[in-house]
Amino acid sequence: MNKEAILALEDGRTFRGRAWGADGERTGEIVFNTSMTGYQEILTDPSYAGQIVTMTYTEIGNYGVNLEDVESRRPFAEGFVVREFSEVTSNWRAGMSLDEYLKQHGIVGISEVDTRALVRHIREKGAMRACISSIDADEISVIAKAKNAPTMLGRNLVDEVSCGDAYRWSSIKDDQKTFDPMTGFTPASALQPGEEPFRVVAYDFGIKYYILRYLAAVGCDVTVVPARTSADDVLALAPDGIFLSNGPGDPAALPEIVGEVKKLLTAAPVFGICLGHQILGLAFGGNTFKLKFGHRGGNQPVKNHRNGKCEITSHNHGFAVDPNSLNQNDIELTHFNLNDGCLEGMSHRRLPVFSVQYHPEAGPGPHDATYLFDEFIANMRAHREQLKGLISVEA
């Protein structure tokens, strides 16, 4: 692991370090994550498609990798940048080292990088295109490759990460047995005695397994559908609720998906997170924009304007909804980021439709925002009762 690697940014800034993981070259948007743990979940979060991830925490890799904590079918990050990579793996759950895992999945890593300087540069100049290479030692060449990489603006990455076919998630009973074995945090089922599980159709824009486990554990029978599923096909599944997932890329590049979601707003309760929040903002008639360097990490402070409380939340996004573009006679702005004032949550004033920009399931991360799942369950329960009332009146 003594081979040299280069990280070059499109503005000409370069960093040299040690190569690890797969030998090769990758381009992508350079971003940073402030989490102190959870690198395996970060690498396998489909929202990182098209990005090279920098970890701000100094030592990465010390607890290895296991087969239980993945968030999707494979890692989606293009590259991995760390200050210090631990060659020693020590954890009873580990099945392999992080170095072996990156090699297995073709992800190029670089260590011995001054990540503090790199993050300060990104915060000052903004997220930008980059190239990480362990096969090209020429800085000018690697910088040129960074400049030629695709930009995130206008880029549709959802089609690259979404599932190919619809599938049903595992049973509620099994998820209540296996949920979060490390912390023991198992949410109590929201089902009342004798109540049938709530049928949820979850759009896969890059959905994380932890979200599906959480929905199942609180009382939902979840069917996951591809991102391009039509509104008619969703309604044919007779859902009690519709979930709009996280995902990568520019939401403005998804007008057809936004159009289908718009058709569903009056059909059943809707809950959106992350990219799902942005898609919902577009369906409400609003606009989205690219943040300078985004929010990524498990420690973002968000104020809930309904109760005045601050929540510490888990984030991974580079785009946001412009609150000034929304009709506030129809849309209530419910949550704002306390660092930069970014809109973090909204709710329709008359329909059971709401969303947040962050990840309330937070695996790993804080559990401050798990009450949002309770709100989704309450909306679905009320929707069921409303449908029963309509049927009884018709009878």
Catalytic residue positions, numbered = 274, 359, 361
3-state secondary structure of 224: strand
Other beta carbons less than 10 A from residue 221's beta carbon: 17
Q: Which residues, at least 6 apart from 73, have a Cβ–Cβ distance to it below 8 Å? A: none
Q: Which residue has the tokens 């049973």?
A: 171
Between CA 202 and CA 217 the distance in angstroms is 15
Beta carbons within 10 angstroms of residue 111's beta carbon: 24
Phi, psi for 389 (deg, rounded to 5): -65, -40
Q: Which of 245, 262, 243 is nearest to 316 (CA)?
A: 245
**252 SS3 class:** helix
The residue among 70, 66, 13 whose CA lies nearest residue 44 is 70
Cα 71 to its chain centre, rounded Å, is 10
Say how many CA atoms lie within 13 Å of 232 toward its Cβ: 0
Helices within the chain (DSSP H only): 39-43, 98-105, 115-125, 139-147, 158-161, 172-178, 209-217, 231-235, 255-264, 275-283, 371-394
Give 195's contacts (C-beta < 8 A, 6+ positions apart).
Answer: 219, 381
**Distances from the Cα of 181 to the Cα of 177, 185, 303, angstroms:** 9, 8, 30
Rounded Cα distance between 45 and 48, Å, is 6
- Round to whole Å and give the CA distance between 286 and 279: 9
